[in-house]
Structures are given as structure tokens and as C-alpha cells.
């Protein structure tokens, strides 16, 4: 008679996943906080700053970006979970942040210094914000089902590459211009003509996929992107982004809620976090869509 050996797996991510404390607690996920730098002042992205205060600080800053925490903070999260058999650390896309590299280096050093350390796997989500959050929740659900880390990663690879997509727009490009992310000409033309860019994640990087004129037309174009990517009868879960309450937010949310094709199995709103708004400012709107996913 053989007894099955249960491997205790802990899922860890970083704060750029935009997971709420409630969702993290529900799925037993630990979160490593990033650093937000606003006009050379560092703020730990640990959820203590209210969303309204955060967006105000972002919009008033002349220089904003995120950075990875010190190795000590990552080390402390690993140490806290040392009694697990395997730690699966799922980070923001390594093309957007140094988190993956920092986690990998710290994990390697931790295992070198601790003979009884758990196995540690660091995984590149190629995602950010709720894309990363969705992948992390999916991993936690798979771990709860008793899958091995190897099988979890194989499932996540397919889920990440084929099932999860984001489309987002920015209604005020001032922050992107100030940060050197778009040219002055593009900024002025967009401001005069009300031309809105639509971004998506392409192989782990934010890429301009289309554009339209006027906020309502642009929002409808985002809905069209969702409908064109998924098949008619696909069951799709949606995250609708929110920041500062506005007429634009209400319009965007209503258009997302009206999607009937593909089949929508759930819609949740989420606050857009640091890594996006540090680059775009608070006037960002978007939808993350995930096939083969649903909150428990």
C-alpha cells in the first residue's frame, strides 16, 4: 500500500498584481510590496495608502516610477513561508520590471544559505496589474486542487499565452509625455484631436494595438477587441479597471457590463495600481479578459 504524499505549495506574488487584501487572504497568497517613487520620495506599495490619495499623489508628481524592494523584504517573505515544501513566486513581466530578477537572485541566495529551505520556483507572468493577479489566482486554485508545481506551470503557460488579455486606454496623455513615453507632437495631436491610444500586452510588453477618436468610440473599440479575440461561445471572466470616479468611468463600465458575446461568467472591478498609473496617471481605463477562469 502506498500513501500519497501531499506537497504543500505556497503562492507568492508582488503588489503590481493589484490583488486586494481580501482576495489575497481568500486564496492564501502572500504579496511582496514594490516601491513607488514620487518626486524622489519612496512609498512602500503595501496597501496602506488609500486609492484616492494614491491617485492624487501620482497626478501631482512630476516624476513617478516603481522599483523593486530591497532583497531583505523579499527574503523576509520567503523566510515567513519556509515551512512549505515549495514556494511558487509569480512576478510581473520581467520586460516591465526588475522584480523577476530580484526574486530569482534572492531565492537562490536563500537556498544557498539555508540547507532546509523549501524548493523555490520564480515564474514570469508576462503580465501586470490584473493580468498578473488573474494568473496568480489561477495558480492558487490549481495548487488547491493538488497539482504539482510542474503541472501548475504547464497549465499557467497555456493560460497566460492563450487565455488572458488586456486592452486599455488613457484619456489624458500628459503623464506619458512628461515621462518621455510619447513625443510632444503625439501628445499635442492627441490633445487637439481627442485621439486615444489602445494598449495591450504583447509578449510581456505594453504595445500600441490600435487607436480611435473620442472616448466613447475608443471604449467601444476596446469592447470590439474583446469580442474579436474570443470565440462566440467562450466563457470569459472580465475585470473592469477603475481609478478616479468620473463620467468616463461610468461610460466605460456600462459598455463592459453590456458585453454579451462571448459569454461572460463574471465581472469584477479593480483599482488600477502603481506600475500602470505611475506611467499613465490616473485617467486610465481598461478591461482584462480571461477564458477558463472564474473566482471561486
Per-residue pLDDT reduced to its tens digit, 122-143:
999 999 999 999 999 999 999 9
Confidence (pLDDT) at 48: 86
Q: Which residue has the higher pLDDT, 111 or 196?
A: 111
Q: pTM above the 0.85 mark?
A: yes
Burial class (CB in 10 A: 0-12, 13-18, 19+), 168: buried
* C-alpha to C-alpha distance for 131 and 270, rounded to whole angstroms: 11
State residue 281's pLDDT score: 86
The pLDDT of residue 63: 85
Report d(CA 296, CA 292) in Å as an integer. 12
What pLDDT, on a 0 to 100 scale, did the predictor assign at position 3?
Answer: 47
pLDDT for the residue numbered 99: 96
The CATH number corresponding to 9-161 among 1.10.10.60, 3.40.50.10170, 3.20.20.70, 1.25.40.20 equals: 3.40.50.10170
Name the 3-class secondary structure at 136: helix
**Percentage of residues in the chain with pLDDT exceeding 90?**
71
Most confident of 8-17, 195-204, 279-288: 8-17
The single-letter DSSP state of residue 159 is I
pLDDT at 72: 97
Look at residue 1 in the predicted model and tell me its pLDDT.
43
Instruction: Report the pLDDT averaged over residues 273-287.
Output: 88
Q: Average model confidence (pLDDT) for the chain? A: 91
Model pLDDT, residue 153? 98
- What contacts 24+ positions apart, CB below 8 Å, involve 41-45? 42/67, 44/69, 45/15, 45/16, 45/273, 45/274
> In this predicted structure, what is the pLDDT of residue 222?
97
pLDDT tens digits along 215-254: 999 999 999 999 999 999 999 999 999 998 899 999 999 9
Looking at residue 195, its pLDDT comes to: 77
58 against 219, higher pLDDT: 219
Q: Is 10 exposed, middle or buried (0-12, 13-18, 19+ CB in 10 A)?
A: buried
Please tell me the predicted confidence (pLDDT) of residue 159: 98
Confidence check: pLDDT of 180 > 70: no
- Which residues of the chain form CATH 3.40.50.10170? 9-161
Residue 155 has pLDDT above 80, yes or no: yes
pLDDT reported for residue 280? 84
Predicted pLDDT at 268:
96
pLDDT of 184 above 60: no
Chain region(s) in the chain for CATH 3.30.1180.10: 163-291
Architecture of domain 163-291: 2-Layer Sandwich (3.30)
What CA–CA distance (Å, rounded) separates 139 from 95?
A: 21
Amino acid at each position: 500500500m502506498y500513501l500519497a504524499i501531499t506537497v504543500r505549495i505556497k503562492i507568492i506574488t508582488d503588489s503590481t498584481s493589484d490583488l486586494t487584501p481580501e482576495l489575497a487572504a481568500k486564496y492564501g497568497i502572500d504579496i511582496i510590496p514594490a516601491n513607488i517613487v514620487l518626486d524622489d520620495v519612496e512609498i512602500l506599495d503595501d496597501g496602506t495608502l488609500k486609492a484616492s490619495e494614491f491617485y492624487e499623489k501620482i497626478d501631482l508628481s512630476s516624476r513617478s516610477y516603481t522599483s523593486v524592494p530591497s532583497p531583505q523584504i523579499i527574503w523576509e517573505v520567503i523566510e515567513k513561508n519556509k515551512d512549505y515544501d515549495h514556494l511558487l513566486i509569480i512576478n510581473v513581466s520581467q520586460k516591465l520590471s526588475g522584480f523577476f530578477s530580484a526574486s530569482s537572485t534572492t531565492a537562490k541566495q536563500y537556498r544557498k544559505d539555508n540547507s532546509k529551505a523549501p524548493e523555490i520556483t520564480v515564474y514570469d507572468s508576462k503580465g501586470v496589474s490584473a493580468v498578473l493577479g488573474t494568473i496568480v489566482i489561477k495558480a492558487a486554485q490549481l495548487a488547491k486542487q493538488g497539482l504539482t508545481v510542474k503541472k501548475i506551470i504547464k497549465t499557467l503557460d497555456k493560460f497566460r499565452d492563450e487565455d488572458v488579455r488586456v486592452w486599455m486606454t488613457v484619456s489624458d496623455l500628459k503623464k506619458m509625455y512628461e515621462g518621455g513615453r510619447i513625443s510632444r507632437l503625439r501628445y499635442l495631436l492627441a490633445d487637439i484631436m481627442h485621439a486615444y491610444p489602445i494598449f495591450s500586452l504583447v509578449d510581456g510588453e505594453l504595445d500600441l494595438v490600435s487607436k480611435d477618436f473620442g472616448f466613447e468610440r475608443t471604449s467601444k473599440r476596446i469592447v470590439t477587441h474583446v469580442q474579436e479575440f474570443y470565440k462566440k461561445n467562450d466563457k470569459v471572466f472580465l475585470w473592469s479597471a477603475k481609478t478616479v470616479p468620473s463620467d468616463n468611468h461610468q461610460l466605460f463600465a456600462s459598455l463592459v457590463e453590456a458585453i454579451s458575446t462571448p459569454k461572460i461568467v463574471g465581472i469584477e472591478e479593480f483599482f488600477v495600481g502603481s506600475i500602470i498609473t505611475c506611467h499613465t496617471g490616473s485617467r486610465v481605463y481598461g478591461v482584462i479578459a480571461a477564458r477558463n477562469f472564474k473566482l471561486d
